[in-house]
Structure 1
Amino acid sequence: MRVFNGEREKHLHSLGCQDCEHFITILQLISTVLLVALLTAILVKGSEVPRSQEHDQEKQHIHQKLDQLKAGLDHLCRPCPWDWMLFQGNCYFFSTYQKTWKESVTACKDMGAQLVVIKSNEEQSFLQRTSKMKGKTWMGLSDAKEEGQWLWVDGSPLQWRNYWDVWEPNNMSNEDCVEFSDYGWNDISCSLENFWICKKSASPCSG
């Protein structure tokens, strides 16, 4: 029995050592995997730093270019504000919503301008063409003070009458203000709402 037990103990001891070897092997594999994972993380982190720095440098470069562009635009000659149109030395603002005639007069004054006063045939052609694309539009002409005496908002009298549409002005229903219609000028009630055009002199460009 002792001989048998001794052999059994040797056998068990042999099996235990084999288990230890398997355990050690597993630990080595786990350690290797963890080491590889750690090295990979370090490499990825290391590669992200230059990318982050490169991104910051790129952003800084873009901001510098934008600042340079803005400085260049500031030095450009701008005779009219951005949302105004230049024509023959004057700036014109074409509204995007509608007001009554008096409200339009006030709106232009608030912008340092006046409801448009037409001074030339070329200006009339330009405004008539542009207004036709937008819709009916107020001009700064009225006979509200005295019927039939057409005055511009700057106090000057109307000096030509060949831009009226056919059968206009007709003063139907007490029409004292003037709009650009499709084919010429039309007198209409001042209380109606139209688009409007403001006009002011262009700013001279400094040398």
Structure 2
Amino acid sequence: MASEITYAEVKFKNESPAPVIKVPAETKKPEHHPQKYPLWLPWLISLLLLLVCFALVVVLLVVPFWHSSEQPRALQQQFSEWKCDSAVPKGTDHGWMCCPEGWRRFQRSCYFLSLDMMNWTESEQNCTGMGSQLVVINSKAEQEFISEQRKQYPGKSGFYIGLFKDKNGQWQWVDNTPYNVTAAFWRKGEPSGGSVENCTVILRIKQTSNNWNDSGCFWNFSRICEAAAVIV
């Protein structure tokens, strides 16, 4: 009798698991992004900021002194010393009115009374060269102020003002302000109407309200210059 062959399935509990080999993850290469701005751009921005700061300094410190559109800039260019006070009209945005040293302020104007003498044409040119003009008198208050200033120079016979006859024989002011006979301050009997008396002087007389006299423009007199006050 043939023997039977018996097969048995054998399992080993302590069998070690198959080794696991860990493969290192692929190293991620850093990405190189192209540069979005040139290297000189930060320097340009810094320069622009510096220019902006400089402009602000100019606006805050320089422009207020030059802001008055009525004031010829030639006046500021001629004088380095100024006298300022706070007597400004209410409601203005600025706090000081300034005139060159040696000039006198009345309301919104500055006045200069000269010591030397010239003819009328030279006097007007001299005032213009300082950024002003021969005085234009618009009111009785201004006339009285000028006359009071004129009294401080008793040795001067007369001061030219900016009133003259044009080629048609009509009185007019140097700044083209219309001549108003009701706001004129002639001496009694003046203007006398002489053919060569085409200019006007303020004479040395006690009366302050009426002291204008027509005169020949070729005579040498002192002069009164006027310019708008600088508001700062």
TM-score, normalised to structure 1's length? 0.59
Q: Report the counterpart of residue 37 of structure 2 in structure 1.
A: none
Which runs of 5 or more residues in structure 2 are unaligned? 1-81, 86-95
Report Cα offsets for 1:74-109 as digits up to 9, x if no partner. 998560111211111111111011010110100010
Aligned equivalent of 2:143: 124
Match of 2:172 in 1: 151
For residue 199 of structure 1, give the secondary structure of its aligned residue in structure 2: strand
Is the counterpart of residue 193 in structure 1 residue 193 in structure 2? no
Which structure: larger Rg?
2
- How do 1:52-201 and structure 2 match up within 5 A? 79-134=98-153, 135=156, 136-147=158-169, 149-161=170-182, 162-172=184-194, 174-181=196-203, 182=205, 183=207, 184-201=211-228
Give the TM-score taking structure 2 as reference length: 0.53
Aligned pairs, how many?
A: 132
Alignment map for 1:31-70 (pairs within 5 Å) = none
Unaligned runs of 5+ in 1: 1-72
Quote the Cα distance in structure 1 between the aligned partners of 2:148 and 2:229: 21
Q: What is the CA-CA distance between 1:166 and the residue it aligns to?
A: 1.0
In structure 2, how many angstroms separate the alpha carbons of the residues matched to 1:191 and 1:119? 25
What is the alpha-carbon root mean square deviation over aligned residues? Answer: 2.2
Given residue 153 of structure 1, which amino acid in structure 2 is its aligned partner? Answer: V
Larger strand fraction of residues: 2
CA distance in 1, matches of 2:213, 2:84: 43
Identity among equivalent positions (%) equals: 36
